[in-house]
Amino acid sequence: MSIKFYNTLTNKVEDFTSIEKNKISMYICGVTPYDVVHLGHARAYVTFDVIKRHFIRSGYSVNHIQNFTDVDDKIINRSIEKQISPLELAKTYIDDYFVQMNKLNVLKANEYPQVTSMIPQIISFIEKLEEKGFAYNVDGDVYFSVDKFSEYGKLSKRKLEDMKVGARVDADSKKKNPYDFILWKKTKENEPQSVSWPSRWAAGRPGWHIECSVMSTSLLGDTIDIHGGGQDLIFPHHENEIAQSEACTGKIFAKYWIHNGFVTVNKEKMSKSLGNFFTLKDIFNTYDPRVVRYYLLTQHYRTPLDFSNDGLNAAQKTLQGLDEAYSRLLAIVSESDDNLINEDLIKIQKQVKEALDDDFNFEKALSYLHELKNLILNNLSSDKTGYLKQAKWLFEDIFEGDLGIRLIKNEINGELSILLEKRNSARKNKNWKEADLFRDKLAELGYKIVDNKDGTSTLVKKI
């Protein structure tokens, strides 16, 4: 079965065919580092992390580029508030991005270009658009003329003539059309010179959309396999990327477009203006990043994910159950064996792959992981050593390999072993009060005891 997924450009699920055999060029829009990363960022980058993992595990080499918009009005305004340079502010939040994504076990991109590192290429790209008649200069500000690009709106399925109806334009607007967008912004008098560069139009900085077109075409080529990001980027950002890229190169910008759904709170889109905004730092103060990653995979990537503490608590409880099954398996099996021969296990392995092949259905893949957990628990007391070895390998392969959720491997040190041994001895002698004391002591150290049917006990680290 080939990989197929929903292409926003065509509004249908399509079989994937890469431009170059067994190689994928993928550009994912990155963050604007003016603040700490939030749950919406986590959903996007965990989504594309699992997608990337699946491509790699399906035999593709993935060249993944993800940008940082390190020059932006929001960065400049925030830097003025904090009385530091815009570039220093951006670096602070870029560093925060990597800290939080590492906690979520998100694989790194091949490159993370920044706007400030691509200024000459951006200027050259805008010059080409101007020379081809797609851009115009008004007093040092350069705009893209959407009227000149006949396919404008093909990604968002908006018709330019319909958008113009009722559109409001300020009396002093420099734009010829209200939907024209800026490519180059002339530096204002009160703006820092550290984020201003000379150009043939005026000293200034790039507009928001142009950077991604330049970075993608410069690092991956004029036409790429996959471009992705959150649904909020479809219009105007990705629509504008298509217009300026294809106007400049005369080629298709991206064959496939993938967009993940919003994070909502009480069915409303998460945003600072609504006061329902959750940073990863704050969430990680209460919930293990493993729980957050699991939670983000419980809904299909294209559907909205409604955030709630109840949802995270349910994810934590479910993940704890998976950890317990794995810990009990580890107590029995110490070696792995990747030669799957059991039909039930082969079936689950195949079902997980088919779920991910079919529009990256994380939710369905998780359901098969739970089927595997039940098979493991039902066979723990058996003498099927070979079966359990295979089950252990498959559990690890799906859990960490496909879904990218870090495995908990308990490091049982001397103190823990002694306490567990004393607890089991008290339990064997029916000294329940003493057994409870050792159980409580282990709980204080962050471990839960799981009693097995054969009289043994397994320690599981609590999350």
Query: Order of strands, edge to edge, in the sheet holding 204-206?
Result: 135-138, 141-144, 181-186, 204-206
What is the Cα–Cα distance from 325 to 47, expressed in whole angstroms? 26
Q: Where, residue-wise, is CATH 3.40.50.620 in the chain?
A: 4-260
* Six token digits for residue 20: 């170059």
Whole-angstrom Cα distance, residue 153 to residue 236?
9
What pairs with residue 114 in β-bridges? Answer: 68
Neighbouring-strand partners of residue 451: 457
Tell me whether residue 69 is exposed, middle or buried, using C-beta atoms within 10 angstroms of its C-beta: 0 to 12, 13 to 18, 19 or more.
buried
CA dihedral 356, 359, 362, 366 (to 10 degrees): -50
Give me the phi and psi of 143, to 5 degrees please: -120, 150
pTM for the full model?
0.90
Tell the CATH topology of 280-402: Isoleucyl-tRNA Synthetase; Domain 1 (1.10.730)
What's the chain's Rg over C-alpha atoms? 26
At the topology level of CATH, where does 4-260 sit? Rossmann fold (3.40.50)
pLDDT in tens, 3-30: 999 999 999 999 999 999 999 999 999 9
* Cα 71 to chain centroid, rounded: 22
Per-residue pLDDT of the chain (463 residues; tens, 9 = 90+): 699 999 999 999 999 999 999 999 999 999 999 999 999 999 999 999 999 999 999 999 999 999 999 999 999 999 999 999 999 999 999 999 999 999 999 999 999 999 999 999 999 999 999 999 999 999 999 999 999 999 999 999 998 877 765 555 554 478 999 999 999 999 998 889 999 999 999 999 999 999 999 999 999 999 999 999 999 999 999 999 999 999 999 999 999 999 999 998 877 777 766 777 789 999 999 999 999 999 999 999 999 999 999 999 999 999 999 999 998 888 888 665 566 778 999 999 999 999 999 999 999 999 999 999 999 999 887 677 788 889 999 999 999 999 999 998 766 666 777 777 788 788 878 888 887 887 888 788 788 887 776 666 777 777 8
The strand pair at 141-144 and 181-186 is best described as antiparallel
What are 154-190's pLDDT values in tens digits? Answer: 999 998 877 765 555 554 478 999 999 999 999 998 8
Q: Where in the chain is the domain with CATH 1.10.730.10?
A: 280-402
Question: One-letter amino acid identity for 216?
Answer: S
